Amino acid sequence: MILRQPATRSVLAAAAVAGLCVSAAACSSGSPSKAASAVSSGAGSPVPAAASRHIGTGCRGMPVRGTGSFAGLAAAPVATAVAHDWELTDLAHAMHAAGLTGTLNAARDITLFAPDNSAFAKLDKSGLARLMSSRAHLAGTLKYDVVAGRQSPAVLATGKSFSTLEGRQVTGAKTGDVYKVNQGIVVCGNISTANATVYIINRVLLP
């Protein structure tokens, strides 16, 4: 997260447009669905009014002002905030292609483990093809990144497992100063948005 440059169309974005977004209707974020209700009442520690303590060395590269800054992200719902971060452009495209933008923006008090662009770049061609094989499969993979409640770094550090919106579990961990979710290392975490806490990770979590 050290260099922040204007986003270019990535392999994932091109695949989303060519493979899944065959019409404007297919790419619409839609209205809140039952999935939003499933996470809207999740328990978790509320984010204090004061600035959160962010974790991860990648936080040093965050802009100090604008929509992509910590303050800017805190003012936006989570899917919109993701679209404002240059390191999460692939994730933003994937959310849009899966029709989850409205669902996640309407959810209340969730935690998103957000794979950055480098995480998507690590997928080989077959892995990317599987991810983009259908809108339903893509949506299921992205729902595996979402858990109920605003989960704190202290909770992740305990090694607790969390039930995801997809239905299976992910597990937090901490070794030294490094936080992980499954095999994904937290690049920058404990980021507040209007309705979520975000941990940017360097792996795409696959259910």
Which domain CATH number covers 130? 2.30.180.10
Could you tell me if residue 100 is inside a domain?
A: yes
What pLDDT was estimated at residue 185?
A: 98
Could you tell me if residue 4 is inside a domain?
A: no
Could you tell me if residue 2 is inside a domain?
A: no
What pLDDT was estimated at residue 10?
A: 57
Q: At what angle do helices 135-143 and 89-98 cross, to 10 degrees?
A: 120
- Unique residue bearing structure tokens 């935690």: 111
What pLDDT was estimated at residue 45?
A: 43
Q: What angle is formed at CA 94 by the lines to CA 35 and CA 203, rounded to 5 degrees?
A: 95
pLDDT band at 157 (very low <50, low <70, confident <90, very high): very high
pTM above 0.75, yes or no: yes
Could you tell me if residue 167 is inside a domain?
A: yes
Could you tell me if residue 40 is inside a domain?
A: yes
Q: What angle is formed at CA 29 by the lines to CA 23 and CA 30, rounded to 5 degrees?
A: 100
Tell me what the mean pLDDT of segment 159-176 comes to.
97
- Is 135:26 a contact under the CB 8 Å cutoff? yes
How far apart (Å, rounded) are the C-alpha atoms in residues 157 and 33? Answer: 32
Q: Given CA atoms 18, 134, 196, 203 in this order, what sign does their dihedral have?
A: negative
Could you tell me if residue 207 is inside a domain?
A: no
How far apart (Å, rounded) are the C-alpha atoms in residues 26 and 6? Answer: 26
Give the chain's domain count. Answer: 1
For residue 113, list its beta bridge partners. Answer: 199
Q: What is the domain range of residue 113? A: 11-201
The per-residue pLDDT for range 19-57, each reduced to its tens digit, is 554 333 344 444 334 444 445 544 444 444 334 589 999
The per-residue pLDDT for range 67-102, each reduced to its tens digit, is 999 999 999 999 999 999 999 999 999 999 999 999
